[in-house]
């Protein structure tokens, strides 16, 4: 496997010796959905992604100390939310016999985000892209599937997590126009460059496993997306881009 290109991926976050780090989805422990171990591995993977979410938000605070105070406060609250989510996922994971570090993990979101040099670009990618996709997945698939399977602890976890995710998307949707107005045309260029680079990077990581969930229109509306943006997201899912090979 070729190395992921440095212009799209920064260094990964620190992890202790318990963790095995992989770069692409194909190198993870991808169990069939019907395998009893699939849920346990999913919880381990998601727990690490919540750690990434905390680390990304913390980096936004340290990397952009001159951002408006109200925005920094919203980011700090996201750090607190992500820390709570980590503990929630770990409890459910260990309740099923899981051991931290049992499965390989990826830190692609952190590596993509920290390569973006503007706060407006990071909010567009982390909150309006990564977190918004999480809204779709939680409502349309994960929460419904957990309820149907009788896994009440998971259904409760996702039910508690969902309002936090809505707020994470909402504050970005509120602040991006304000950052655009303050910075002028350069902000639009920074935003477009960040979203384009993230799209190419995600295609390299996902490969043939690129998957999307049906757009949760009501939740996205609550999180501050316009009707035009919601429809654009639906159209994008209907015509997903072809996966890109690492190094392309």
Return the closest-CA partner of residue 143 out of 134, 133, 153, 154.
Answer: 154
41 found inside a domain:
yes
57 found inside a domain:
yes
pLDDT tens for the chain, 248 residues long, are 558 999 999 999 999 999 999 999 999 999 998 898 999 999 999 999 999 999 999 999 999 999 999 999 999 999 999 999 999 999 999 999 999 999 999 999 999 999 999 999 999 999 999 998 888 887 766 666 776 667 889 888 988 999 999 999 999 999 999 999 999 888 989 999 999 999 999 999 987 766 667 888 888 888 988 899 888 888 877 765 544 444 43
247 found inside a domain:
no
4 found inside a domain:
no
Domain that holds residue 215: 25-238
126 found inside a domain:
yes
- Rounded CA-CA distance 61/75 in Å is 7
How many Cβ atoms sit within 10 Å of the Cβ of residue 214? 12
Residues contacting 190, CB < 8 A, separation 6+ = 117, 118, 120, 121, 183
Does the reported pTM lie above 0.85?
Answer: yes
18 found inside a domain:
no
Q: What count of Cα atoms within 13 Å lies in the side-chain half-sphere of residue 103?
A: 23
We report the CATH number of the domain holding residue 220 as 1.20.1260
245 found inside a domain:
no
And the tokens for 190?
Answer: 């920074």
User: In the chain, how many domains are there?
Assistant: 1
How far is Cα of residue 132 from the mean position of the Cα atoms in its chain? 8
């Amino acid at each position: 496997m070729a190395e992921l290109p440095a212009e799209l991926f920064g260094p990964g976050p620190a992890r202790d010796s318990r963790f095995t780090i992989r770069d692409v989805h194909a190198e993870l422990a991808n169990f069939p959905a019907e395998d009893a171990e699939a849920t346990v591995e999913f919880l381990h993977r998601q727990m690490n992604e919540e750690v990434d979410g905390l680390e990304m938000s913390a980096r936004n605070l340290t990397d952009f100390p001159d951002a408006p105070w109200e925005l920094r406060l919203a980011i700090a609250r996201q750090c607190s939310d992500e820390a709570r989510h980590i503990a929630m996922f770990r409890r459910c994971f260990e309740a099923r016999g899981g051991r931290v570090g049992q499965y390989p993990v990826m830190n692609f979101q952190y590596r993509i985000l920290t390569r973006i040099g503007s706060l407006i670009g990071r909010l567009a990618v982390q909150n309006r892209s990564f977190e918004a996709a999480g809204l779709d997945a939680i409502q349309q698939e994960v929460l419904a599937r957990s309820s149907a399977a009788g896994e009440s602890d998971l259904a409760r976890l996702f039910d508690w997590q969902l309002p936090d995710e809505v707020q994470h998307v909402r504050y970005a949707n509120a602040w991006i126009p304000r950052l655009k107005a303050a910075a002028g045309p350069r902000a639009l260029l920074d935003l477009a460059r960040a979203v384009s680079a993230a799209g190419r990077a995600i295609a390299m990581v996902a490969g043939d496993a690129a998957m999307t969930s049906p757009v949760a229109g009501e939740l996205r509306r609550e999180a501050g997306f316009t009707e035009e943006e919601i429809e654009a997201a639906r159209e994008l899912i209907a015509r997903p881009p072809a996966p890109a090979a690492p190094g392309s």
